Amino acid sequence: MNPVPSSPDPERRPPAGQASGRRRQHAVAALSVGCLDDVRPGSLLVALPSLTDPTFAGSVVYVLDHSDTGTIGVVLGRPSEVRIGDVLPGWSELAVEPGVFHVGGPCETDTALCLATRGGAGELPDDSGLRQVAGAVHLVDLDSDPDELDGEIEGLRVFAGYAGWSSGQLARELAEGAWACVVGSPADVLTDASGPELWRSVLRRQRGRLAVLSTAPADPSAN
């Protein structure tokens, strides 16, 4: 991770959509929220309407690492006002639009974490500057030379801060029905969807009651 200037408030909340509160409550009451065994690098943690913490309400988190010691991920779909070219000019040409830092979470918001998708399937040398997270998604070492990755990656996104759970914390939140864990896609990392649009698009591709929730407000305080 690399230092970056202060980013917008990580507790920024996306605007709410409109839906029936009764329908949302019925869906949540019958949900199976999954278990900790489903959490792995490349999966998504989708905030359920019962999660009212403004930092994570209506959020989608891409999991980067998960072990007995805890879980780390980045919140997707929260663009900031800080342009990558103003801070890391060497990397701006490889970044996808809109070319700004995204608020990755409330932890260490003065650090930068970069994710990229790679098109090739061959092995990478140890000094490539890329470390695989899951499938085509890789962590990028921002101290490496961006010119050497030109043509090697399809695009990248830089996040300010990250989301973290200590040992046992995420398990408790899953048991409380705060999150649903679903399969992620490399396209989720670089999508231009943000806020409630991303939240709903992830839920729409699920089955059963999770899909029903796609019509509910991303922000549970809006009914």
pLDDT tens column, 146-172: 999 988 899 999 999 999 999 999 999
- Residue 7 pLDDT greater than 70, yes or no: no
Q: Which helix (H) or strand (E) holds 204?
A: helix 195-204
> Mean pLDDT over residues 109-122, rounded?
90
**Which of 193, 175, 186 is CA-nearest to residue 135?**
186
Task: Specify the pTM.
Answer: 0.83
Output the pLDDT for position 14: 34
Confidence category of residue 143, pLDDT binned at 50, 70, 90: very high
Confidence category of residue 11, pLDDT binned at 50, 70, 90: very low
Cis peptide before 5 (omega within 30 of 0): no
Output the pLDDT for position 1: 56
Output the pLDDT for position 221: 58
Task: Round to whole Å and give the CA distance between 169 and 101.
Answer: 27
Output the pLDDT for position 167: 94
Q: Mind listing the domains of the chain with CATH numbers?
A: 2-8+37-215 (3.40.1740.10)
On average, the pLDDT of the chain sits at 84
Output the pLDDT for position 151: 87
Output the pLDDT for position 119: 83
Task: Round to whole Å and give the CA distance between 78 and 193.
Answer: 9
Output the pLDDT for position 114: 98
> Mean pLDDT over residues 96-109, rounded?
96
> Mean pLDDT over residues 102-121, rounded?
93
Output the pLDDT for position 142: 96
- Residue 10 pLDDT greater than 60, yes or no: no
- Residue 22 pLDDT greater than 60, yes or no: no
> Mean pLDDT over residues 48-77, rounded?
96
Confidence category of residue 5, pLDDT binned at 50, 70, 90: very low
Output the pLDDT for position 220: 59
Task: State the sign of the Cα–Cα–Cα–Cα dihedral 97, 3, 64, 61.
Answer: negative
> For 63-67, 121-125, 163-167, 196-200, which range has the lowest pLDDT when averaged over its residues?
121-125
